[in-house]
């Protein structure tokens, strides 16, 4: 089904994300950020930025620059399709590369959206969670149906994911270390593994280049890997722990076109592996290991030596760009003094970067 036809009337003219629990900026001072939040785009590799926050409504075109970005998910079938997971007002989606946005219908039009996954073989088949429930849509977000409810008040749902090679399999990660699986479109779920009580699952990611390779990233307990779609697991934490602070998770990224190439961003900095976590090497940064908080990171889809990150100290942030795999870095001006928490490289347009901001909570 073509989503553009379904929503043509609202169109004007794609990881991991940082969780709320990852947002732990380095001092006890009150936030001193300012400026717009929301989403920005650069079409020239970060030289210049433009706000993309148009929100057409029946009362006219409004904007979304007062809302935070928790995550940005690309449509695997439509390079112009993007899903904005907000921290305050639910889910937004765009079918024109972010030029305009539309808000989801209830119940995903309020509060934080923690995770969203799209069936790579049917982009109208989507699962999303608000932390308490998992909902699915089969009609391109025109309606939602609840398929799972976490009734334990101390636990929350933190991640959802399709197996890209076997899309009948859907997975849920929880804050208590549980990994659940459904093989019947969410009608029934079973716990297939627990990574240990107190192990907060932050991200579920499949390597789309290599069947069976499945990663579970945790908030404080490192990275786990399966090579049989979750049947058995290897704990990669001891390899990461060689780098001080590396178990303090910030973001996880699987490079979309090179099998087994992954990036782990933590309090230490940026680590990369070319063999699915068997061996790691640090990406040399301008900022010394552990000296800054890196919440936003991405790699160009067209050249894996072209990398970008933001560095934050006491709510003051800088943007860094390398075109030689981290041998040298350049700095460029950021478009806002809010907290940058998301960078995303467009899958089709070379040089296009998306930058999402968060408004830090006030004490």
Residue 101 lies in a domain: yes
> What would the two tokens of residue 18 be?
């940082």
For the beta sheet containing 316-322, the strands, ordered from the edge strand earlier in sequence to the opposite edge, are 297-299, 307-313, 316-322, 330-332
**Cβ 61 vs Cβ 52: under 8 Å:** no
| Spatial distance between the Cα atoms of 32 and 46, rounded to a whole number of angstroms | 24
> Which residues, 6+ apart, have CB-to-CB distance to 130 below 8 Å?
107, 108, 111, 112, 113, 114
CATH of residue 308's domain is 2.130.10.10
- At 326 the pLDDT is 95
Average pLDDT per block of 10 residues along the chain, 363 residues long: 34 33 51 90 98 94 96 96 97 97 97 97 98 98 98 97 97 98 97 95 97 97 97 96 96 94 98 97 95 97 97 96 97 97 96 96 68
**Rounded to whole angstroms, how far apart are CA atoms 272 and 170?**
27
pLDDT at residue number 15: 36
d(CA 253, CA 43): 22
32 in a domain, yes or no?
yes
Residue 186, domain extent: 3-358
The total number of structural domains in the chain stands at: 1
Taking CA atoms, 39 is separated from 163, 301, 344, in Å, by 28, 20, 11
Q: Cα–Cα distance between 104 and 83 in angstroms, integer? A: 10
What is the rounded distance in angstroms from the CA atom of residue 67 to the CA atom of residue 1?
A: 30
**Global model pTM greater than 0.75:** yes
Sheet-wide strand order for 91-94: 69-74, 82-86, 91-94, 102-103
Residue 338 makes CB contacts below 8 A (sequence gap 6+) with: 33, 34, 35, 36, 37, 357, 358, 359, 360
Helix (H) or strand (E) holding 5: helix 3-6
Phi (first) and psi of residue 250, to 5 degrees: -120, -50
Residue 145 near residue 136 (C-beta atoms within 8 A): yes
The answer to whether residue 363 is domain-embedded is no
Q: What is the DSSP secondary-structure string of 325-341?
A: TTSS-EEE--S-SSEEE
Q: Pseudo-torsion of CA 131, 150, 160, 267, nearest 10°?
A: 50
> Given this model, what pLDDT does residue 29 score?
58
Among the listed residues 113, 120, 104, 97, the one whose alpha carbon sits nearest the alpha carbon of residue 50: 97
In angstroms, what CA-CA distances link 325 with 115, 139, 281?
30, 41, 12
Token representation of residue 231: 């049947």
């Amino acid at each position: 089904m073509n989503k553009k036809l379904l929503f043509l009337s609202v169109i004007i003219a794609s990881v991991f994300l940082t969780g709320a629990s990852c947002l732990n900026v380095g001092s006890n001072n009150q936030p001193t950020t300012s400026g717009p939040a929301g989403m920005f785009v650069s079409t020239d590799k970060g030289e210049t930025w433009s706000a993309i926050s148009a929100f057409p409504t029946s009362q006219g075109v409004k904007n979304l620059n007062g809302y935070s970005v928790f995550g940005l998910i690309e449509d695997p079938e439509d390079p112009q399709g993007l899903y904005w997971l907000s921290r305050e007002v639910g889910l937004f989606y765009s079918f024109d590369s972010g030029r305009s946005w539309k808000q989801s219908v209830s119940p995903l039009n309020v509060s934080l959206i923690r995770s969203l996954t799209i069936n790579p073989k049917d982009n109208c088949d989507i699962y999303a969670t608000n932390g308490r429930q998992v909902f699915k849509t089969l009609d391109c977000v025109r309606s939602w149906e609840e398929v799972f409810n976490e009734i334990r008040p101390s636990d929350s749902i933190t991640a959802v994911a399709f197996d890209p090679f076997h899309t009948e399999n859907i997975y849920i990660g929880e804050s208590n270390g549980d990994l659940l699986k459904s093989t019947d479109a969410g009608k029934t779920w079973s716990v297939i593994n627990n990574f240990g009580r107190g192990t907060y699952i932050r991200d579920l990611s499949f390597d789309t280049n290599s069947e069976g390779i499945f990663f579970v990233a945790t908030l404080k307990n490192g990275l786990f890997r399966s090579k049989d779609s979750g049947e058995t697991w290897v704990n990669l934490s001891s390899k990461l722990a060689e780098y001080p602070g590396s178990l303090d998770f910030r973001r996880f990224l699987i490079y979309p076109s090179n099998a087994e190439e992954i990036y782990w961003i933590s309090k230490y900095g940026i680590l990369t592996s070319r063999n699915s976590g068997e061996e790691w090497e640090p990406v040399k940064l301008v900022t010394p290991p552990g000296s800054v908080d890196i919440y936003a990171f991405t790699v160009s889809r067209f050249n894996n030596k072209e990398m970008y990150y933001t560095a934050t100290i006491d709510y003051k942030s800088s943007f860094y760009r390398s075109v030689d795999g981290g041998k040298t870095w350049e700095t460029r001006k950021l478009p806002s003094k809010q907290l940058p928490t998301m960078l995303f490289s467009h899958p089709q347009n070379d040089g296009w970067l998306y930058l999402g901001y968060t408004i830090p909570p006030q004490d």
